[in-house]
Amino acid sequence: MIRQLLLAGILGLVLVFVFTTTASAHNTQPRLEISMERLMPGGVVDVRGVGFGMEETVMLALIGSGLEVSLGEMITDAEGEFLHIAVLPTDLAEGAYYFRATTSHHWVLSPALTVQGVAIVEGDEQAFRDHDEDLLVPMPTYAPGVVPGVVTISAPIVSSPVEAPAPPSGWGTNMLILTGLMVLVAVVVLRLGRKRSE
């Protein structure tokens, strides 16, 4: 009888570890990827969310330099991903900025996005020169969103997951309690077996 209880306890522990390992193998940490690491104000950057829940609502914002700009709600697809094409404000001050994704369980930051330079706004008088002026050297022109002398990265820049601790799930807590109870039963059965053998 004691051997049967002991074997049942050991089998139960093995099953608990198999199920908890299988369940945790599919969990991924949510992260944000950005397509550029340096931009001018008014530039465009792709923000991609990966590893979120299926069809989860994600609040996206741009934060930095005491500023927070809401970019709205994103809904993830069946794989827990979303893509948002963000246009930076033209009056953004130079500095480091981050995209922040917030869900009911996660708080994730993207890698740093460095904003430098001054955006050229249409109709800006300083953006144009009088044709009568003599130009000593040819003036370079740049495509919108390109910072002179800065090489841009075309591959996504992957963030390290930074998130607030999620509340403990009921499944993990229940499995921990069950494991503890099984160990306690095994110890009691072993002690009873020793007392009977004496």
CA distance 5 to 20: 22
Residue 94 pLDDT more than 50? Answer: yes
* pLDDT interval class at 41 (50, 70, 90): very high
Q: Please report, for the chain, the start and end positions of each structural domain, with discontinuous segments joined by +.
A: 1-28+168-198, 30-126+139-162
- The string over 40-54, giving b where at least 16 C-beta atoms fall within 10 Å of a residue's C-beta and e elsewhere, is bbbbebebbbbbbee
pLDDT digits (tens, 9 = 90+) for 97-145: 999 999 998 899 999 999 999 875 655 544 444 444 444 444 444 455 4
pLDDT digits (tens, 9 = 90+) for 150-190: 444 445 555 555 544 444 445 555 666 767 777 777 777 77
Residue 67 pLDDT more than 80? Answer: yes
Tokens at residue 144, please?
A: 């919108």
CA distance 121 to 8: 75
* pLDDT interval class at 84 (50, 70, 90): very high
pLDDT of residue 124: 52
pLDDT of residue 185: 77
* pLDDT interval class at 89 (50, 70, 90): very high
CA distance 177 to 10: 16
Tell me which amino acid residue 27 is: N
Phi, psi of 87 (to 5 degrees): -105, 120
CA distance 103 to 57: 6
| Range 30-126+139-162 classified under CATH 3.40.50.150 | no
pLDDT digits (tens, 9 = 90+) for 50-63: 999 999 999 999 99
pLDDT of residue 151: 45
User: Is the pTM value of this prediction over 0.75?
Assistant: no
Tell me which amino acid residue 167 is: P
Select from 45, 43, 89, 94 the least CA-distant residue to 65: 94
